[in-house]
A and B are shown apart, each in its own frame.
Chain A
Amino acid sequence: MAMPYITRRLPLTVLFIATSITIVNYFFRGSPELSTSAKMLNNWAVVLFAFALAVGIVQLTVLRSRWIMNPKETPRRRGLSVLFLVEMWIITIIGLLQSSKGAQFSWISQNIYTTLNGAQYGMIGFYITLACYKTMKVRRWDIAIFTIVCWIHLVANTPLVSYFIGFGWFNFSQWIYFWPSTAGGKALTIIAALGMVSVGVRGMLGLERGVLGGGGG
C-alpha cells in the first residue's frame, strides 16, 4: 500500500531535510548559508513549540470545562477545576500583556510559583527519604552491591567514623567514587550516546516515526 502523502511521506521528507541540515551544520564549518538555515530551523522549532503550548492550554481548558459542567463529577474536582482555569487564564493573560519581565508577572512568578514549587518539593522529600530506605534493602544480588556501596559512603560521611577510625575509610569511599563509579558512569554515558545516535539515524531514515503521532503508522 502506498505511503499516505500528507501524514507520512511529507513529514518524513521534512524530517530528513531538517535533520540533515542540522547534523551537517553541527559537524562542519565553512558555509554561512548552511549555518543560517540551521539557525532558522532552530527558531522554527521554538515557534512550533509555542503552538504546541497553545494546543495544550486549549486542551486543558476543554477538559476542565467538561469536568465543571458534568454534575456527576465530584464537587472537589469541579471546584479545583474552576480554581485551575481562573489561575491559568489570569497568568496567561498577564504574561501575554506584559511579557515575562512585567512587574505583576514577576511578582506572581517569585511569590506564588517559586514558593509553591518549594512547598511541593518539601512534600515529596518524604518520599525521597523513604526511597533511600527502600534501596537499603537487599532484594537482589545487584541491589546488594548497591546497598554495600551505599553503606560504605554513608558511614564514610559520618563525622564520628572519621573521628574514631581516621580517614582510611573516607579515602576508601572516595576511591570508589572516583574510580569504579566514574568508570561505570562513563560507560553508561557512552552507550547511551550511541543509542541516541542510533535513534537519530533511524529518524533520518524515516524508520523512527513515533514523533509523527498516529501518522507514524
Chain B
Amino acid sequence: MSFTLAPLMQNAFLLWLLVALLSVLVQLLTTRGILSLPIRRIEALDRIDDMIGRATEMGGTVMVGTGSARLTSSDALESMMGFAAVRYVAEQTARLGTKLLVTTGSPDHNPIVEDTVSQAARVAGNPDYYRVGEQVRLIGGDFYSYITATLQLLDPQSPENVRALLGFGGSGGYSASGPTVGMAANLAGVMSMGGTANVHQIHNYVACFDYAIIGDEIYALSAYLTKDKRQVGTIMGLDIAKMILIVLEVGGAAFVAIAGRKLFT
C-alpha cells in the first residue's frame, strides 16, 4: 500500500500542515506558560454582554440564530461557532433571568442546541431556566422559511418582544439574508449582530448590522468567548500562519515582478 498526494493538492496540504503544526506548537507553548501572546480584540464580540444587558433592562428577549446550514454542508463550521455563541449567551441570560430564544434553520442543529442551552443553564446555577422545546425553535428547513420566520419574530407586534439579535452561521450562501434580517432588526429597533465568513455577504453584514463579525473572526468566536488558553493558543498559531502567508505572498509578488521575467524567459 503506497500513499501519494492527490493531484493539485500539494500546496493545499502544505498550507494545512503549516496551520496545524503552528496551532499545536503555539497551543503547547501557551498552555505551559512558555509563550504569552495577546489575542487581538474583536470589537463586536466584546459587545455581546452589552446587548444582553440592554435586552434585560428592556424586559425583552435575546434571540440567537444558528443559520440554516446543514451540519453535512461546508458552512457547518459557521454553525458550530453559532453553537459556541449560544452556549455563552445562554449562560449569561440564565444568570440574569433574561428570556432567550434560539432559532435554528436546520433540524440537525436542534438536539445540539437543546443540550447546549440545558448545560449552560446548569453551569449558570439556574437549571430551571431551561424549558424543553420552549427556548429552541426550528423555524425553517431552507432559506425562505428561515428568513420569513426571523422577520416575523423581529416584528415589534410579536409577543416574543425581541430586543437583541445575534445571527451566526451560514445561511446557505444566499447574499440576500444579511440585508434582509439586518434591515428588519433596524426597523424594529433591535440591536443586531451578524457573523459570516461568506465573501458574498460580508459587505451586507457590515452595512446592515450594528455589529459584524467577518471573515476568520467568526472562526475565532469560541476561543475568544471561552478564553480557554488552549483554544486561544490555536488562534495565535493561525495568526502566525497568516503573517507567514502575507510575507510569502508579498515577497513572491515582488520577486516575480522584479526578477520573474528574467527567470521565466
Contacts and interface: CB of A to CB of B under 8 A. Distances in A.
Interface of A: 23, 26-31, 33, 45-46, 48-49, 52-53, 55-57, 59-60, 62-63, 66, 74, 116-117, 120-121, 123-124, 127-128, 130-132, 134-135, 142-143, 146, 185, 188-192, 194-202, 205, 207-208, 210-217
B148 A123 contact: yes
B215 A192 contact: yes
- The list of the 6 closest CB pairs from A to B, nearest first, reads A56-B107, A214-B119, A131-B179, A213-B115, A195-B216, A195-B219
A56 B179 contact: no
A135 B186 CA distance: 12
Contacts of B36: none
Interface in B204-236: 204, 206-208, 214-220, 222-223, 228, 230-231, 234-235
14 contacts: A27-B13, A30-B4, A59-B138, A66-B133, A117-B144, A121-B144, A131-B178, A146-B203, A146-B207, A199-B77, A199-B80, A199-B219, A213-B112, A216-B116
B133 A192 contact: no
Contact of B111 (A55, A57, A117): A55
Contact of A214 (B116, B145, B234, B238): B116
B220 to A, nearest CB: 7
A29 B3 CA distance: 6
B176 A124 contact: yes
B133 A59 contact: yes
Given A59-B138, A124-B180, A127-B184, A30 B148 contact: no
Chain A binding surface SS class? helix
A47 to B, nearest CB: 10
B32 interface: no
A156 B83 CA distance: 43
Given A194-B242, A214-B119, A120 B148 contact: yes
Interface string B74-95: 0001001101100100000000
A29 B234 CA distance: 29
B72 A195 contact: no
Contacts of B116: 210, 213-214, 216
Contacts of A123: 148
A63 to B, nearest CB: 5
Contacts of B153: none
B39 interface: no
Interface residues of B, number: 86
B19 interface: yes
Interface of B: 1-6, 9, 12-13, 15-16, 19-20, 23-24, 27, 70-72, 77, 80-81, 83-84, 87, 107-108, 110-116, 118-120, 122, 133-134, 136-138, 142, 144-145, 147-148, 151, 159, 176, 178-180, 182-184, 186-187, 197, 199, 202-204, 206-208, 214-220, 222-223, 228, 230-231, 234-235, 237-238, 241-242, 245
Contacts of A188: 199, 202, 214-215
B3 to A, nearest CB: 4
Contact of A53 (B19, B107, B228): B107
Contacts of A46: 72
A130 B180 CA distance: 9
Contacts of A208: 80, 222, 231
Contacts of A66: 133
